[in-house]
A and B are shown apart, each in its own frame.
Chain A
Amino acid sequence: MHSASIPAESSPVEPPELPNSFLLRLDVLGHVIIRFLHTAAGLVAFALITLGVAAKKFHASARVVHPLIRHQIHRAGMRLLPLTGFLACALGILIVGQTVALLSQVGAQNLVGTVMVTVVVRELGPLTAALLVLVRIGVAYVIELGTARALGEVEALEALCIDPIHYLVIPRVIGLSLAVFSLTVYFILVTLLSGYLFAFIQNVPLQPGDYFKQLAVALTWEDFALLAIKTCAFGFVIAVVGCYQGLAQPLRLQEVSAATTRAVVQSIVACVLLDVVFIVIYLVM
């Protein structure tokens, strides 16, 4: 053993050639890219299947599936109102209140509307609502669907000729999309109102009429349209990623937590990438 591990100095055997670290890094990078593309392809395929099933079977088994959609809207939308309201108030005071006060101090009150629309309506509202829904509901989706998958409930549905995408995924996707949209609208309203109230208490010389008039002038119809599309897209992405990680591949119970972590990371990355796309659209418009 000893003689084998320490070769004699006079040994003619060349030491093993060290692998090129650059090639190793390239190999790792290649694996990461392939894994990313594989996951992206799986997610896109799952999203397309979901859209196909939604279009084809929306009215099928309506008395079973439509109550499930309403349940998911209630679960992801209504039940998150208190938390959303709390966060909207806090961010309204922190961001809007201070921004209004600061702009007034430098005599740039006429920019309040534009700043608010850019910060709160286009970015802060949709992203905050999406992250809230991801943490409260998206994670729960992976756990409940992953557990159902691991316990064989999905096969039991298939044995009863019940399409798992139709019964389990469609209600969640529609419910979450509408919930993120509704929560964003609620969040924006509460943030703008609470922020202004904070500034008003601080005696900022900006009348309520002027404040809301500036907001109305700064908002365009594209803002409303893009807000609706963007928030529904966020909800769709979070629900699809959660359902994909929970359902699309065979899972064992001990793999559910890893699937949940993957879903959170992928949802955040997907939402941010989607946000970049919308920023480009805003800039082009």
Chain B
Amino acid sequence: MNALRDTACPAATEVLELNEVAVGSTLSPETPSVEDVTWTVRSGDYWVIGGWPGSGKSDLLATIAGMMRPLRGTLRLFGLDRVSAHEHELADARAKIGLVFENGGRPFNHLTVTENVTLPLCYHENRAPEEAIERVGALLEFAGLESVAGRFPTEISFFLQQRMALVRALALRPRVLLVDNAVSGATTREARWWRQALSQLAAGHAVTDGQPLTLVVGCHDLRPWSDHGKQFALLKHRRWLGIGDRAALRQSEEPLLRELLAADSNEG
């Protein structure tokens, strides 16, 4: 835990705080998939959460995105209690958190790529689509999606759908970005693109108005992220297991960590 504290910037503020949280499963909301999570995410952090498929990463990310109530414990989003906060305050807090789903990012299949990215902007800012062209154009350019802007998600590759989900989540200028298994099954080139893109976002990019983004990445192969993440943790046997910074990652003898860093563990 000391290693985790050391990696946080002294001036950083807490954006997500979990205290003994039990997380429900999306398929069975009353059944805990992860328990006893005590974890603080501060602004500027770049967390990488490792765990095998089915370990509860997606449920944990959906919960800290504010989509599900924790079954037990306290969850604070930008200082607001997830359970007792007023609806509109919670909506404001949730809008500051972007979530990129795994497996193609769950695109809206009846909308084109441009419309997918435009929707959150127009919905929240009550704009006509033509008023969002500039912002959407910048986002599509960032993800290299200009050439497929008018196509439907089913007409583009799985990897481009995943990129589209990234810029759709960025449309509302979130302060925290949660990325669930983005490079699962990706080619080496695609995985490199994601690492570079997330590093740019973590450092501050034009699409985030130059503001550094706080990142939480869930994955079941830690190798692509071991040189990019700043803080690391695992989900093991439905429990949270903090590892620490990159130095702690290299020194740790935790068997699950060694497995997730082993060359033959690659599933994406």
List residues of chain A with CB under 8 Å of any chain B CB. Answer: 60-64, 144, 148, 151-153, 155-162, 167, 250
Expressed in whole angstroms, the Cα–Cα distance for A62 and B122 within the complex equals 10
Chain B residues with CB below 8 A from A60, complex form:
126
Within the complex, what minimum Cβ distance (angstroms) separates A166 from chain B? 9
Chain B contact residue count (CB 8 A cutoff): 29
Name 12 extra pairs, CB < 8 A, besides A151-B106, A156-B107, A158-B67.
Answer: A61-B124, A64-B123, A152-B101, A153-B109, A159-B101, A159-B169, A160-B172, A161-B95, A161-B124, A162-B119, A162-B120, A162-B124
Q: How many A-B Cβ pairs are below 8 Å?
A: 63
The answer to whether A153 and B106 have CB atoms under 8 Å apart is yes
Chain A residues with CB below 8 A from B172, complex form:
160-161
The answer to whether B65 and A159 have CB atoms under 8 Å apart is yes
Expressed in whole angstroms, the Cα–Cα distance for A44 and B207 within the complex equals 44
Q: Which 9 A-B pairs have the closest CB atoms?
A: A156-B106, A152-B106, A159-B99, A160-B120, A61-B123, A64-B123, A161-B95, A64-B122, A161-B94
Per the 8 Å Cβ criterion, residues 192-243 of B in contact with A are: none
Selected from B62, B98, B126, B169, the residue in CB contact (under 8 A) with A62 is: B126
Expressed in whole angstroms, the Cα–Cα distance for A236 and B119 within the complex equals 26
Quick one: closest B residue to A159, CB to CB?
B99
Expressed in whole angstroms, the Cα–Cα distance for A161 and B99 within the complex equals 11
Chain A residues with CB below 8 A from B110, complex form:
144
Chain A residues with CB below 8 A from B107, complex form:
153, 156
List residues of chain B with CB under 8 Å of any chain A CB. Answer: 26-27, 62, 65, 67, 91, 94-95, 98-99, 101, 105-110, 119-120, 122-124, 126-128, 165, 168-169, 172
Q: List 21 A-B contacts (CB under 8 A).
A: A60-B126, A61-B123, A61-B126, A63-B122, A63-B126, A63-B128, A64-B119, A64-B122, A148-B109, A155-B62, A155-B106, A157-B108, A158-B67, A159-B62, A159-B65, A159-B67, A159-B99, A160-B169, A161-B91, A161-B95, A161-B120
Expressed in whole angstroms, the Cα–Cα distance for A41 and B99 within the complex equals 33
Quick one: closest B residue to A154, CB to CB?
B106
Within the complex, what minimum Cβ distance (angstroms) separates A68 from chain B? 11
Within the complex, what minimum Cβ distance (angstroms) separates B116 from chain A? 9
The answer to whether A162 and B123 have CB atoms under 8 Å apart is yes
The answer to whether B101 and A155 have CB atoms under 8 Å apart is yes
Within the complex, what minimum Cβ distance (angstroms) separates B22 from chain A? 20
Selected from A63, A64, A156, A250, the residue in CB contact (under 8 A) with B108 is: A156
Quick one: closest B residue to A158, CB to CB?
B67
The answer to whether B119 and A160 have CB atoms under 8 Å apart is yes
Chain B residues with CB below 8 A from A61, complex form:
122-124, 126
Chain B residues with CB below 8 A from A63, complex form:
122, 126-128
Chain B residues with CB below 8 A from A62, complex form:
126
Chain A residues with CB below 8 A from B101, complex form:
152, 155-156, 159
Chain A residues with CB below 8 A from B165, complex form:
156
The answer to whether B27 and A250 have CB atoms under 8 Å apart is yes
Expressed in whole angstroms, the Cα–Cα distance for A148 and B109 within the complex equals 8
Within the complex, what minimum Cβ distance (angstroms) separates B133 from chain A? 14
Chain A residues with CB below 8 A from B65, complex form:
159
Chain B residues with CB below 8 A from A158, complex form:
67
